[in-house]
Amino acid sequence: MEVAREVFQLAAKLEVEEVTAYSKNYPLILEALGRGMRRWSQIKRYLEQRLGRTLNDSELHRYLTNLANRGFIDKENEEYTILNPILAKHFSED
């Protein structure tokens, strides 16, 4: 079982590095989603709190659109979810 955990941790590390390569703020969005914040306003509030600054709507829109276009997240019925199962598990465990 320990080997499986190590393999998962390595896979998660690589996935997080890939996401972070696009923007250091993308993992924060995935953190929010992993903690059950699935709506625009919840994600925005979480990012503003973590960044310590106001976030423009256009900036958040760009982040969410880019994550969706890259296949990391999806939006359905005004709620966002993490599509990548490794990232979903990783960010729900933090």
**Predicted TM-score (pTM) of this structure:** 0.89
> Domains in the chain: how many in total?
1
pLDDT tens digits for range 19-60: 999 999 999 999 999 999 999 999 999 999 999 999 999 999
Nearest Cα to 25, choosing from 4, 6, 44?
44
Q: Model confidence at 94, in pLDDT bands (50, 70, 90)?
A: low
Residue 31's H or E segment, with its range, is helix 26-34
Angle at 90 between CA 75 and CA 3, to 5 degrees: 140
Q: Model confidence at 65, in pLDDT bands (50, 70, 90)?
A: very high
| CATH number, position 37 | 1.10.10.10
Quick check: 16 and 26 in contact, CB under 8 A? no
Contacts for 84 with CB less than 8 Å, ≥ 6 apart: 15, 71, 72
Domain of 29, in residue numbers: 2-93
**For range 55-73, the mean pLDDT:** 96
CA–CA dist 6, 81 (Å, integer): 25
3-7, 17-21, 48-52, 69-73: range with lowest mean pLDDT: 3-7
